[in-house]
């Protein structure tokens, strides 16, 4: 719409220029031509500024919402690789690498890297590995993961404790 108004303005000025040139006054003709030239330059500058502003608009901020995997009550979860929503469940625990920790609000989190090079932030209680292991402990130097069944009320388990050491 703004561009149409500018074009209409230029058309009117050009028409007036032609009418004034028919009157034979060269001074007015030169002034009008100068005015038209300046108007065109100003219009081009405004269009360039509008285009530049449109081109460099900042994206709207969004808040990151992590989607973790929550195992149903009862422990073991059998998951096919096609239905996996959390990538750390697709790989054997031994193929994962513990690469660092984060402490926030008196809780410690582990950074774990999958074989495809992606890094995920996990906490105690998260399910990890293709055998649905549960993170039991995170320490600055290692992660303890219980694969198989979890300890029962008599503190016996048929599972296996797997430890991932911090990668140097």
88 touches 119 (CB < 8 A): no
Mean pLDDT of the chain: 75
Helix (H, G, I), strand (E, B) or coil at 99: strand
What is the three-class DSSP state of 89?
helix
Which domains does the chain possess?
92-165 (2.30.30.830)
More confident residue, 17 or 113: 113
State residue 132's pLDDT score.
87
In whole angstroms, what is the distance from residue 97 CA to residue 112 CA?
A: 6
pLDDT in the model for residue 87? 81
Task: Band the pLDDT of 58: cuts 50, 70, 90.
Answer: low
pTM: 0.48
Mind listing the pLDDT tens digit for each residue in 115-166?
888 888 999 999 999 888 999 999 999 999 999 865 555 656 578 899 999 8
**CB contact set of 134 (below 8 Å; sequence gap of 6+):** 71, 75, 125, 126, 127, 128, 145, 146, 150
Highest mean pLDDT among 8-17, 35-44, 53-62: 35-44
Q: Which of the four pLDDT bands, split at 50, 70 and 90, describes residue 8?
A: confident
Average pLDDT over residues 43-55: 67
* Structure tokens belonging to residue 43: 């219009």
């Amino acid at each position: 719409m703004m561009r149409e108004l500018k074009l209409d303005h230029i058309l009117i000025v050009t028409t007036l220029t032609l009418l004034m040139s028919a009157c034979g006054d060269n001074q007015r003709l030169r002034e009008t031509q100068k005015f038209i030239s300046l108007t065109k330059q100003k219009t081009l500058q405004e269009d360039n500024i509008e285009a530049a502003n449109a081109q460099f608009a900042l994206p709207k901020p969004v808040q990151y919402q992590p989607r973790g995997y929550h195992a149903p009550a009862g422990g073991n979860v059998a998951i096919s690789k096609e239905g996996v929503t959390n990538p750390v469940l697709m790989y054997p625990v031994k193929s994962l690498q513990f690469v660092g920790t984060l402490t926030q609000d008196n809780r410690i989190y582990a950074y774990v890297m999958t074989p495809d090079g992606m890094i995920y932030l996990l906490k105690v209680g998260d399910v990890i590995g293709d055998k649905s292991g549960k993170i039991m402990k995170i320490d600055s130097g290692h992660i303890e993961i219980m694969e198989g069944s979890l300890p029962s009320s008599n503190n016996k388990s048929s599972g296996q404790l797997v430890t991932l050491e911090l990668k140097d």
